[in-house]
Structure 1
Amino acid sequence: MTTHALPVPDLMLSEMTDGWFRSAAFLWMKANHDTLAQALGKKRISWERVCDWFAQLGLTDRSGKTPTQRNARETWYTVRKVVAREKAAQEATRLETLRLEAERESEKAAIQAEIRQRREAKALEKAALRDKMEQVGRDVARRVQAQTETQTIAGVTDHEQPASSDVASQENVPQEQVRVRIGEVARVVRMRTQAPRYGRDRDIPLPPPYVGPRPAGMPEDLPLEALMPLDAPGLDDKGMYDFKQLPGMPRRSFYDNERQWLVDCMAMIKAIPPAERPPALKAMGPWLATRLGPSYRG
Structure 2
Amino acid sequence: MAATVIGISGAISALEGASGAMSLRVWMETHREELLKVWDGRRLDWQALCGWFRDAGLTNSIGETPTVRCAKMTWYRVGKTLEARRQRHADAAAAAERLAEEKKAAREAAKASRDAEAVEAGALSQRMQEADRAQSYATAQRIEVQEAHARAAVQRQERAQQLAASAQQSEIEPSDPSEFITLDLPVLEGVSRRAYLPVDPKLPPVRKGDINRATGNAWQYGGDLPGYPSKRNYEYEKNWLRDVGLLLRHRHPTNLTMTPEEKFVMRGAKSCIPNLY
TM-score (norm 1): 0.49
Counterparts of 1:58 and 1:11, CA distance in 2: 22
Aligned residues: 183
Deviations 1:140-177 (A, max 9, x none): 11111111111112223334543443344334574675
Structure holding more helix per residue: 2
In structure 1, the partner of 2:35 is 36
Counterparts of 2:86 and 2:19, CA distance in 1: 20
Question: Larger Cα Rg: Structure 1 or Structure 2?
Answer: 2
Q: CA deviation at 1:95?
A: 2.0
Counterparts of 1:43 and 1:129, CA distance in 2: 81
Counterparts of 1:14 and 1:99, CA distance in 2: 39
- Mark the runs of 5 or more structure 1 residues left unpaired by the alignment: 185-298
TM superposition outliers: structure 1 runs of 4+ over 6 Å: 2-5
Structure 1 pair 50–161 and aligned structure 2 pair: CA distance change class (3 A): same
Alignment root-mean-square deviation, CA: 3.7
Deviations 1:173-201 (A, max 9, x none): 746751423689xxxxxxxxxxxxxxxxx
Q: CA deviation at 1:129?
A: 2.8
For the 8 Å contact 2:19–2:63, the answer to whether it is kept is no
Deviations 1:269-294 (A, max 9, x none): xxxxxxxxxxxxxxxxxxxxxxxxxx
1:181 to 190, 197, 208: 208
In structure 2, the partner of 1:8 is 8
Matches within 5 A, 1:97-136: 97-136=96-135
For the 8 Å contact 2:5–2:11, the answer to whether it is kept is no
Counterparts of 1:109 and 1:180, CA distance in 2: 85
Structure 1 pair 8–118 and aligned structure 2 pair: CA distance change class (3 A): closer
TM-score (norm 2): 0.52
Matches within 5 A, 1:1-298: 6-9=6-9, 12=12, 21-64=20-63, 66-171=65-170, 174=199, 177-181=204-208
Structure 1 pair 32–5 and aligned structure 2 pair: CA distance change class (3 A): closer
Counterparts of 2:5 and 2:66, CA distance in 1: 35
Q: CA deviation at 1:104?
A: 2.7
Q: CA deviation at 1:14?
A: 10
Identity of aligned residues (%): 19
For the 8 Å contact 1:29–1:76, the answer to whether it is kept is yes
- Mark the runs of 5 or more structure 2 residues left unpaired by the alignment: 175-198, 210-219, 222-277
